[in-house]
Structure 1
Amino acid sequence: MLLHDREILEALSSSKVLTSMITPAVLISASGTLIFSTSGRLGRVFDRVNALKAEVEGIAAKRLSHPRERLEHVTELMAIQGIRGRLLQRALSALYTATALFIASSIAIAMNVAFGGPDTSWAPTGIALFGGLFLFAASALLLYESRFNLKFIEGQMRLVNYLKDQITVDDDKPS
Protein backbone atom coordinates (compact mmCIF):
# COMPACT_ATOMS: atom_id res chain seq x y z
CA MET A 1 0.00 0.00 0.00
CA LEU A 2 1.32 3.41 -0.95
CA LEU A 3 1.96 5.99 1.73
CA HIS A 4 -0.63 8.35 0.22
CA ASP A 5 -3.32 5.60 0.24
CA ARG A 6 -2.53 4.79 3.87
CA GLU A 7 -2.92 8.46 4.88
CA ILE A 8 -6.30 8.65 3.15
CA LEU A 9 -7.46 5.43 4.82
CA GLU A 10 -6.36 6.66 8.24
CA ALA A 11 -8.04 10.02 7.70
CA LEU A 12 -11.33 8.38 6.75
CA SER A 13 -11.24 5.86 9.62
CA SER A 14 -10.85 8.55 12.24
CA SER A 15 -13.77 8.83 14.67
CA LYS A 16 -13.37 12.58 14.32
CA VAL A 17 -14.88 12.36 10.83
CA LEU A 18 -17.98 10.53 12.01
CA THR A 19 -18.40 12.74 15.05
CA SER A 20 -18.18 15.87 12.92
CA MET A 21 -20.67 14.54 10.37
CA ILE A 22 -23.30 13.94 13.06
CA THR A 23 -23.43 17.62 14.00
CA PRO A 24 -26.01 18.60 11.31
CA ALA A 25 -28.20 15.60 12.24
CA VAL A 26 -30.40 17.70 14.52
CA LEU A 27 -31.18 20.09 11.68
CA ILE A 28 -31.80 17.20 9.29
CA SER A 29 -34.18 15.70 11.85
CA ALA A 30 -35.99 19.02 12.32
CA SER A 31 -36.42 19.37 8.56
CA GLY A 32 -37.71 15.80 8.33
CA THR A 33 -40.26 16.42 11.05
CA LEU A 34 -41.50 19.55 9.29
CA ILE A 35 -41.65 17.67 5.97
CA PHE A 36 -43.78 14.98 7.59
CA SER A 37 -46.23 17.44 9.17
CA THR A 38 -46.38 19.65 6.07
CA SER A 39 -47.17 16.63 3.90
CA GLY A 40 -50.02 15.85 6.30
CA ARG A 41 -51.32 19.39 5.98
CA LEU A 42 -51.22 19.10 2.20
CA GLY A 43 -53.19 15.85 2.49
CA ARG A 44 -55.84 17.63 4.55
CA VAL A 45 -56.11 20.31 1.83
CA PHE A 46 -56.76 17.52 -0.68
CA ASP A 47 -59.43 16.01 1.60
CA ARG A 48 -61.13 19.39 2.03
CA VAL A 49 -61.13 20.00 -1.74
CA ASN A 50 -62.79 16.59 -2.18
CA ALA A 51 -65.42 17.51 0.41
CA LEU A 52 -66.09 20.79 -1.40
CA LYS A 53 -66.36 18.86 -4.68
CA ALA A 54 -68.96 16.60 -3.07
CA GLU A 55 -70.88 19.67 -1.98
CA VAL A 56 -70.85 21.04 -5.55
CA GLU A 57 -72.13 17.67 -6.76
CA GLY A 58 -74.89 17.84 -4.16
CA ILE A 59 -75.84 21.32 -5.34
CA ALA A 60 -75.84 20.19 -8.99
CA ALA A 61 -78.06 17.21 -8.13
CA LYS A 62 -80.40 19.57 -6.22
CA ARG A 63 -79.99 17.53 -3.04
CA LEU A 64 -78.95 20.52 -0.91
CA SER A 65 -80.89 23.55 0.21
CA HIS A 66 -79.77 27.13 -0.44
CA PRO A 67 -77.81 26.34 -3.62
CA ARG A 68 -76.78 29.94 -4.43
CA GLU A 69 -75.37 30.59 -0.97
CA ARG A 70 -73.62 27.22 -0.91
CA LEU A 71 -72.06 27.80 -4.33
CA GLU A 72 -70.74 31.21 -3.25
CA HIS A 73 -69.37 29.58 -0.12
CA VAL A 74 -67.69 26.75 -2.04
CA THR A 75 -66.16 29.20 -4.53
CA GLU A 76 -64.64 31.23 -1.68
CA LEU A 77 -63.31 28.18 0.13
CA MET A 78 -61.85 26.62 -3.03
CA ALA A 79 -59.81 29.79 -3.56
CA ILE A 80 -58.51 29.55 0.00
CA GLN A 81 -57.59 25.88 -0.47
CA GLY A 82 -55.75 26.75 -3.71
CA ILE A 83 -53.66 29.33 -1.88
CA ARG A 84 -52.97 26.87 0.94
CA GLY A 85 -51.91 24.17 -1.50
CA ARG A 86 -49.45 26.47 -3.27
CA LEU A 87 -47.98 27.73 0.02
CA LEU A 88 -47.57 24.19 1.33
CA GLN A 89 -45.90 23.06 -1.90
CA ARG A 90 -43.43 25.95 -1.67
CA ALA A 91 -42.77 25.15 1.99
CA LEU A 92 -42.12 21.50 1.10
CA SER A 93 -39.71 22.57 -1.64
CA ALA A 94 -37.85 24.78 0.82
CA LEU A 95 -37.78 21.98 3.42
CA TYR A 96 -36.41 19.44 0.95
CA THR A 97 -33.78 21.95 -0.15
CA ALA A 98 -32.83 22.63 3.48
CA THR A 99 -32.55 18.90 4.14
CA ALA A 100 -30.33 18.42 1.09
CA LEU A 101 -28.12 21.32 2.19
CA PHE A 102 -27.80 19.95 5.73
CA ILE A 103 -26.82 16.56 4.32
CA ALA A 104 -24.35 18.28 1.98
CA SER A 105 -22.88 20.17 4.95
CA SER A 106 -22.45 16.88 6.80
CA ILE A 107 -20.57 15.44 3.83
CA ALA A 108 -18.54 18.65 3.48
CA ILE A 109 -17.60 18.41 7.17
CA ALA A 110 -16.36 14.86 6.63
CA MET A 111 -14.39 15.85 3.55
CA ASN A 112 -12.90 18.84 5.36
CA VAL A 113 -11.92 16.79 8.42
CA ALA A 114 -10.42 14.06 6.25
CA PHE A 115 -8.74 16.08 3.51
CA GLY A 116 -9.14 19.79 4.16
CA GLY A 117 -7.71 22.26 6.52
CA PRO A 118 -8.39 25.64 8.06
CA ASP A 119 -8.54 27.27 4.62
CA THR A 120 -11.57 25.13 3.60
CA SER A 121 -13.40 24.98 6.91
CA TRP A 122 -15.78 27.76 5.85
CA ALA A 123 -17.45 25.56 3.20
CA PRO A 124 -19.47 23.26 5.53
CA THR A 125 -20.56 26.24 7.61
CA GLY A 126 -21.64 28.17 4.52
CA ILE A 127 -23.64 25.23 3.21
CA ALA A 128 -25.34 24.77 6.60
CA LEU A 129 -26.18 28.48 6.75
CA PHE A 130 -27.92 28.25 3.39
CA GLY A 131 -29.83 25.26 4.74
CA GLY A 132 -30.85 27.36 7.72
CA LEU A 133 -32.13 30.10 5.41
CA PHE A 134 -34.31 27.58 3.56
CA LEU A 135 -35.57 26.20 6.87
CA PHE A 136 -36.46 29.74 7.95
CA ALA A 137 -38.24 30.42 4.63
CA ALA A 138 -40.25 27.21 4.98
CA SER A 139 -41.26 28.14 8.53
CA ALA A 140 -42.39 31.57 7.37
CA LEU A 141 -44.46 30.00 4.56
CA LEU A 142 -46.05 27.58 7.02
CA LEU A 143 -46.91 30.42 9.38
CA TYR A 144 -48.54 32.32 6.52
CA GLU A 145 -50.40 29.18 5.37
CA SER A 146 -51.84 28.66 8.85
CA ARG A 147 -53.67 31.99 8.52
CA PHE A 148 -55.47 30.65 5.44
CA ASN A 149 -56.41 27.52 7.34
CA LEU A 150 -58.09 29.77 9.90
CA LYS A 151 -59.90 31.63 7.08
CA PHE A 152 -61.18 28.29 5.80
CA ILE A 153 -62.47 27.32 9.24
CA GLU A 154 -64.14 30.70 9.68
CA GLY A 155 -65.79 30.32 6.26
CA GLN A 156 -67.16 26.93 7.22
CA MET A 157 -68.51 28.40 10.46
CA ARG A 158 -70.22 31.22 8.54
CA LEU A 159 -72.05 28.73 6.34
CA VAL A 160 -73.09 26.58 9.29
CA ASN A 161 -74.39 29.65 11.12
CA TYR A 162 -76.25 30.83 8.00
CA LEU A 163 -77.88 27.45 7.51
CA LYS A 164 -78.70 27.24 11.21
CA ASP A 165 -80.39 30.66 11.03
CA GLN A 166 -82.47 29.52 8.04
CA ILE A 167 -84.02 26.67 10.00
CA THR A 168 -87.37 27.56 11.49
CA VAL A 169 -88.39 25.58 14.51
CA ASP A 170 -92.00 25.60 15.53
CA ASP A 171 -91.80 25.32 19.31
CA ASP A 172 -95.54 25.73 19.73
CA LYS A 173 -96.52 22.39 18.20
CA PRO A 174 -97.05 19.50 20.60
CA SER A 175 -94.67 16.60 20.20
Structure 2
Amino acid sequence: MAMVERELLDALSSARILTSMITPAVLISACGTLIFSTSARLGRIFDRVNALKGELEEVLTDRLSYPGERIAFLRDQFQLQRIRAGLIQKAMAALYTATALFVAASLAIAFNVAYGTADTAWIPTAIALLGGVFLFVASAILLYESRFNLRFVSRHLDFIQFLQDQHEQKGDGH
Protein backbone atom coordinates (compact mmCIF):
# COMPACT_ATOMS: atom_id res chain seq x y z
CA MET A 1 0.00 0.00 0.00
CA ALA A 2 1.38 3.41 -0.94
CA MET A 3 2.30 5.88 1.79
CA VAL A 4 -0.40 8.38 0.74
CA GLU A 5 -3.08 5.68 0.80
CA ARG A 6 -1.96 4.54 4.26
CA GLU A 7 -2.06 8.11 5.60
CA LEU A 8 -5.54 8.55 4.13
CA LEU A 9 -6.74 5.29 5.67
CA ASP A 10 -5.27 6.28 9.05
CA ALA A 11 -6.92 9.69 8.85
CA LEU A 12 -10.32 8.21 7.95
CA SER A 13 -10.20 5.56 10.67
CA SER A 14 -8.91 7.97 13.28
CA ALA A 15 -11.04 8.91 16.23
CA ARG A 16 -9.81 12.42 15.54
CA ILE A 17 -12.56 12.90 12.96
CA LEU A 18 -15.31 11.96 15.39
CA THR A 19 -13.91 13.95 18.29
CA SER A 20 -13.53 17.01 16.05
CA MET A 21 -17.13 16.66 14.97
CA ILE A 22 -18.55 16.56 18.52
CA THR A 23 -18.68 20.34 19.07
CA PRO A 24 -20.76 21.02 15.93
CA ALA A 25 -22.99 18.08 16.89
CA VAL A 26 -23.67 19.61 20.31
CA LEU A 27 -24.47 22.94 18.65
CA ILE A 28 -26.75 21.18 16.15
CA SER A 29 -28.57 19.65 19.13
CA ALA A 30 -28.87 23.08 20.77
CA CYS A 31 -30.31 24.51 17.56
CA GLY A 32 -32.78 21.63 17.36
CA THR A 33 -33.97 22.31 20.89
CA LEU A 34 -34.40 26.01 20.11
CA ILE A 35 -36.20 25.20 16.86
CA PHE A 36 -38.60 22.94 18.75
CA SER A 37 -39.36 25.52 21.44
CA THR A 38 -39.62 28.34 18.89
CA SER A 39 -42.08 26.30 16.84
CA ALA A 40 -44.14 25.86 20.01
CA ARG A 41 -44.07 29.63 20.52
CA LEU A 42 -45.38 30.11 16.99
CA GLY A 43 -48.15 27.62 17.74
CA ARG A 44 -49.13 29.57 20.85
CA ILE A 45 -49.26 32.76 18.78
CA PHE A 46 -51.65 31.02 16.37
CA ASP A 47 -53.82 29.85 19.29
CA ARG A 48 -53.89 33.36 20.76
CA VAL A 49 -54.83 34.91 17.43
CA ASN A 50 -57.67 32.40 17.08
CA ALA A 51 -58.91 33.25 20.58
CA LEU A 52 -58.71 36.97 19.81
CA LYS A 53 -60.57 36.39 16.55
CA GLY A 54 -63.34 34.62 18.46
CA GLU A 55 -63.58 37.54 20.87
CA LEU A 56 -63.72 39.99 17.95
CA GLU A 57 -66.54 38.01 16.38
CA GLU A 58 -68.45 38.19 19.68
CA VAL A 59 -67.92 41.96 19.86
CA LEU A 60 -69.09 42.42 16.27
CA THR A 61 -72.28 40.49 17.00
CA ASP A 62 -72.95 42.67 20.08
CA ARG A 63 -72.54 39.82 22.55
CA LEU A 64 -69.91 41.58 24.67
CA SER A 65 -69.97 44.82 26.60
CA TYR A 66 -67.73 47.81 25.88
CA PRO A 67 -67.42 47.13 22.13
CA GLY A 68 -65.37 50.28 21.38
CA GLU A 69 -62.82 49.53 24.08
CA ARG A 70 -62.68 45.87 23.11
CA ILE A 71 -62.12 46.62 19.42
CA ALA A 72 -59.29 49.03 20.27
CA PHE A 73 -57.82 46.44 22.64
CA LEU A 74 -58.10 43.65 20.07
CA ARG A 75 -56.58 45.77 17.31
CA ASP A 76 -53.57 46.38 19.57
CA GLN A 77 -53.33 42.70 20.47
CA PHE A 78 -53.51 41.58 16.84
CA GLN A 79 -50.68 43.98 15.97
CA LEU A 80 -48.51 42.61 18.78
CA GLN A 81 -49.13 39.05 17.59
CA ARG A 82 -48.28 40.04 14.01
CA ILE A 83 -44.95 41.47 15.18
CA ARG A 84 -44.27 38.42 17.34
CA ALA A 85 -45.01 36.03 14.45
CA GLY A 86 -42.60 37.95 12.19
CA LEU A 87 -39.89 37.84 14.84
CA ILE A 88 -40.44 34.13 15.40
CA GLN A 89 -40.15 33.51 11.65
CA LYS A 90 -36.86 35.44 11.53
CA ALA A 91 -35.55 33.49 14.53
CA MET A 92 -36.54 30.21 12.91
CA ALA A 93 -34.74 31.16 9.69
CA ALA A 94 -31.61 32.04 11.69
CA LEU A 95 -31.83 28.78 13.65
CA TYR A 96 -32.20 26.68 10.51
CA THR A 97 -29.29 28.56 8.94
CA ALA A 98 -27.18 27.97 12.05
CA THR A 99 -28.06 24.27 11.97
CA ALA A 100 -27.08 24.01 8.30
CA LEU A 101 -23.81 25.78 9.00
CA PHE A 102 -23.00 23.50 11.95
CA VAL A 103 -23.72 20.45 9.77
CA ALA A 104 -21.50 21.97 7.07
CA ALA A 105 -18.77 22.61 9.67
CA SER A 106 -18.99 19.02 10.82
CA LEU A 107 -18.63 17.78 7.25
CA ALA A 108 -15.83 20.26 6.59
CA ILE A 109 -13.97 18.92 9.63
CA ALA A 110 -14.24 15.39 8.25
CA PHE A 111 -13.13 16.46 4.77
CA ASN A 112 -10.30 18.52 6.15
CA VAL A 113 -9.02 15.65 8.28
CA ALA A 114 -9.25 13.29 5.31
CA TYR A 115 -8.13 15.51 2.44
CA GLY A 116 -7.18 18.91 3.80
CA THR A 117 -3.91 20.57 4.54
CA ALA A 118 -2.76 23.05 7.16
CA ASP A 119 -3.78 25.76 4.70
CA THR A 120 -7.43 24.63 4.73
CA ALA A 121 -7.74 23.93 8.46
CA TRP A 122 -9.38 27.33 9.05
CA ILE A 123 -12.39 26.57 6.82
CA PRO A 124 -14.35 24.34 9.28
CA THR A 125 -13.68 26.84 12.06
CA ALA A 126 -14.91 29.74 9.94
CA ILE A 127 -18.08 27.84 9.02
CA ALA A 128 -18.72 26.94 12.68
CA LEU A 129 -18.13 30.54 13.76
CA LEU A 130 -20.63 31.74 11.16
CA GLY A 131 -23.09 29.19 12.54
CA GLY A 132 -22.43 30.63 16.00
CA VAL A 133 -23.23 34.11 14.69
CA PHE A 134 -26.59 32.89 13.36
CA LEU A 135 -27.30 31.11 16.66
CA PHE A 136 -26.52 34.36 18.49
CA VAL A 137 -28.77 36.35 16.14
CA ALA A 138 -31.62 33.88 16.65
CA SER A 139 -31.21 34.11 20.42
CA ALA A 140 -31.22 37.91 20.29
CA ILE A 141 -34.38 37.89 18.15
CA LEU A 142 -36.07 35.50 20.58
CA LEU A 143 -35.10 37.72 23.48
CA TYR A 144 -36.58 40.72 21.67
CA GLU A 145 -39.72 38.71 20.85
CA SER A 146 -40.18 37.87 24.51
CA ARG A 147 -40.60 41.60 25.18
CA PHE A 148 -43.60 41.60 22.84
CA ASN A 149 -45.03 38.62 24.68
CA LEU A 150 -44.68 40.52 27.94
CA ARG A 151 -46.43 43.52 26.35
CA PHE A 152 -49.23 41.22 25.19
CA VAL A 153 -49.69 39.80 28.69
CA SER A 154 -49.44 43.22 30.37
CA ARG A 155 -52.02 44.77 28.06
CA HIS A 156 -54.29 41.81 28.57
CA LEU A 157 -54.03 42.23 32.32
CA ASP A 158 -54.68 45.96 31.97
CA PHE A 159 -57.85 45.26 29.99
CA ILE A 160 -59.02 42.72 32.55
CA GLN A 161 -58.47 45.37 35.22
CA PHE A 162 -60.52 47.82 33.12
CA LEU A 163 -63.40 45.33 32.93
CA GLN A 164 -63.22 44.68 36.66
CA ASP A 165 -63.24 48.42 37.39
CA GLN A 166 -66.22 48.95 35.10
CA HIS A 167 -68.08 46.11 36.80
CA GLU A 168 -67.36 47.53 40.26
CA GLN A 169 -68.54 50.99 39.17
CA LYS A 170 -71.81 49.49 37.94
CA GLY A 171 -72.20 47.67 41.25
CA ASP A 172 -71.70 50.90 43.21
CA GLY A 173 -74.35 52.70 41.12
CA HIS A 174 -77.12 50.19 41.85
How does the TM-score come out when normalised to structure 1? 0.91
More helix by share: 2
Match of 2:55 in 1: 55
CA displacement at 1:43 relative to structure 2: 0.8
Of residues 83-92 and 15-24 in structure 1, the stretch that sits farther from structure 2 once superposed is 15-24
For residues 130-164 of structure 1, give each alpha carbon's deviation from its aligned partner in whole angstroms, at most 9, with x where no partner exists: 00110111111011101100110111011101111
CA displacement at 1:112 relative to structure 2: 0.6
Identity %: 60
CA displacement at 1:11 relative to structure 2: 3.0
The amino acid of 1:163's aligned partner reads: L
Match of 2:12 in 1: 12
Match of 2:161 in 1: 161
Match of 2:31 in 1: 31
Q: Distance in 2 between matches of 1:23 and 1:48?
A: 38
Q: Distance in 1 between matches of 2:152 and 2:35?
A: 22
CA displacement at 1:63 relative to structure 2: 1.1
Secondary structure at 2:171's aligned position in 1? Answer: coil
Of residues 139-148 and 18-27 in structure 1, the stretch that sits farther from structure 2 once superposed is 18-27
The amino acid of 1:145's aligned partner reads: E
Match of 1:65 in 2: 65
Q: Distance in 1 between matches of 2:172 and 2:148?
A: 38
For residues 42-67 of structure 1, give each alpha carbon's deviation from its aligned partner in whole angstroms, at most 9, with x where no partner exists: 11111110011000111122111111
CA displacement at 1:3 relative to structure 2: 7.5
Unaligned runs of 5+ in 1: none
State whether structure 2 residue 92 is matched by structure 1 residue 92.
yes
Q: Distance in 2 between matches of 1:144 and 1:153?
A: 15
Q: Distance in 1 between matches of 2:29 and 2:173?
A: 59
For residues 10-63 of structure 1, give each alpha carbon's deviation from its aligned partner in whole angstroms, at most 9, with x where no partner exists: 432222212212221221111111111111111111111001100011112211
Unaligned runs of 5+ in 2: none
How does the TM-score come out when normalised to structure 2? 0.91
